[in-house]
Amino acid sequence: MSIEDMIRGELNGTTDRQDLPIPDAVRRRIDETLAALVGKAADGQDMMQGGEQSKHDAATLPGRRPAARSPNRTRRLAIAFVLLLLSMSVWIASNPQTVKSMKPHISSIFGWFGDAGVKRNLPLQKTGDLPILAEVKNNGYILRIHEAFYDGLQVSFTYTFRKEQGEIPPGTYVIPDFQLAPSAKKLLGSTRKFDNGGLHEGYAAGVVKYFVQKKLPNSFDLEVNVPKFGMSEKDNYTVRKGDWSFALPIKGEDHSRTVQWDEPLHAERERNSFDVVSLRMSDTAAEWRLRLQIPLTARLDMVKQRESITYRIMDEDGNELEQTGVSKSGRDTDHGNPAPPDALHIEDVLTHTPPIRNGSTVTVVPVYRTMTEVNGQFEAKDAPMDELAIQVPVD
């Protein structure tokens, strides 16, 4: 179980498991600190057994010397510490500048927390105060929705969450629980939800996005329920209930398309195989579906050695494309114990990058990742599986 999953579990389901994951560099920093703080208590959270795979297994680290605290107290202190670190680290990952260097007012939250595809391809407000598309007050807190768009691949909006009186203390981590209302679930169909946020000048701000698989009207009302939010305050974390539900008018056009290839994109070496299953694009993002197949015995050995597999997507110039919200699911072809020699582990991957320029060729390759300790610090060492690299023509 990843650190983020542990935090969200402690918040009793404050958001669903498909929220936007913390960037890899930040997650590694969090896990390194936690490993040093709680040692084997953190290692015991690992739930990768047999054919099960955490969607963030790359963050799991070897255990360190046990801390001299009781398990429950150690766990609570560790979670509180990580919550505090998260509240600072998300900002650092999104923008290397400090909060003090920001303008007095955020002109666009998409410009702050939005991914590269949104920033490059969506007209963003540059100056002036944020617009307010919806506002709800309840139990001493105000939720405001500021920006929204639909482009065929995603429905996204930005928000701020603040106290009616006073400010949210620095170092606090806030997670509003955005839930699609039944009418919105019916309208959007199958979706994947990601969110990201941070603290700015005494209030929380963030982006929520729903990646959709069906064509939607050019205008519609998106009904969202917000029955609670999670908040860390110093060494405590709480879930606070209320009702900040809202109906948001959405306008946009479906600019999505599926990239077609003459034949399936497939690479194979011995018993390892890799496929680029599909690619969809809109004005702001590209949605990749990948599939890796390896021997189950190799997968089990990787778990023991604290190894994992990530995926690298590079443009024609060899630049690695930013990925938003990598989601993985794994399954085995045989659950025998011990694993039969011919058993396989299959991993399906969903990830998003900025849109790809037409006429270009993108390289997609699986990468072995090993966490090693160097001078007391954990580092990720990557080894691309070049024999499985696939050249993806985008026409």
Q: Domain ranges for the chain, please list them.
A: 1-94, 99-255, 257-394
DSSP string for residues in 245-291: -EEEEEEB----EEPP-SS-EEEEETTEEEEEEEEEE-SS-EEEEEE
Q: What is the pLDDT, as a whole number, of residue 284? A: 94
Strand (E) or helix (H) holding 312: strand 307-314
Phi-psi region of 334 (alpha: psi -120 to 50; beta: other; left: phi over 0): beta
* Omega of the bond leading into 71 within 30 degrees of 0 (cis): no
Alpha-carbon gap, residue 356 to 293, rounded angstroms: 26
Q: What is the pLDDT, as a whole number, of residue 262? A: 84
SS3 (DSSP) at 307? strand
Q: How do residues 162-173 score in pLDDT, each as one tens digit?
A: 999 999 988 888
Nearest to 347 by CA among 285, 294, 387, 276: 294
What are the phi and psi torsion angles at 202 (to 5°)? Answer: 90, 5
Strand partners, 35: none
What are the phi and psi torsion angles at 99 (to 5°)? Answer: -60, -35
CB 39 within 8 A of CB 65: yes
pLDDT under 70: residue ranges of the chain: 1-105
Q: What is the pLDDT, as a whole number, of residue 57? A: 33
Q: What is the pLDDT, as a whole number, of residue 105? A: 55
Q: What is the pLDDT, as a whole number, of residue 279? A: 96
Task: Indicate the pTM of the whole model.
Answer: 0.71
Report the 10 Å Cβ neighbour count for 124. 16
Spell out the alpha helix ranges (H) of the chain.
Answer: 3-10, 24-38, 40-43, 71-94, 109-113, 116-121, 182-188, 296-304
What amino acid is encoded at 224 in this protein? V
Q: How do residues 64-104 score in pLDDT, each as one tens digit?
A: 223 333 444 444 444 444 444 343 333 333 333 333 333 33
DSSP string for residues in 98-138: -GGGS-SS-S-HHHHH--HHHHHHS----SSPPP-SEEEEE
Decide if domain 257-394 falls under CATH 2.60.40: yes
172: which 2 tokens? Answer: 């606090």
CB 210 within 8 A of CB 154: yes
Q: How do residues 112-138 score in pLDDT, each as one tens digit?
A: 888 889 988 888 877 778 899 999 999
- Whether 257-394 and 99-255 are alike in CATH topology: the answer is yes
* CATH of 99-255 among 3.40.50.2000, 2.60.40.10, 3.40.605.10, 2.60.40.1630: 2.60.40.1630
SS3 (DSSP) at 42? helix
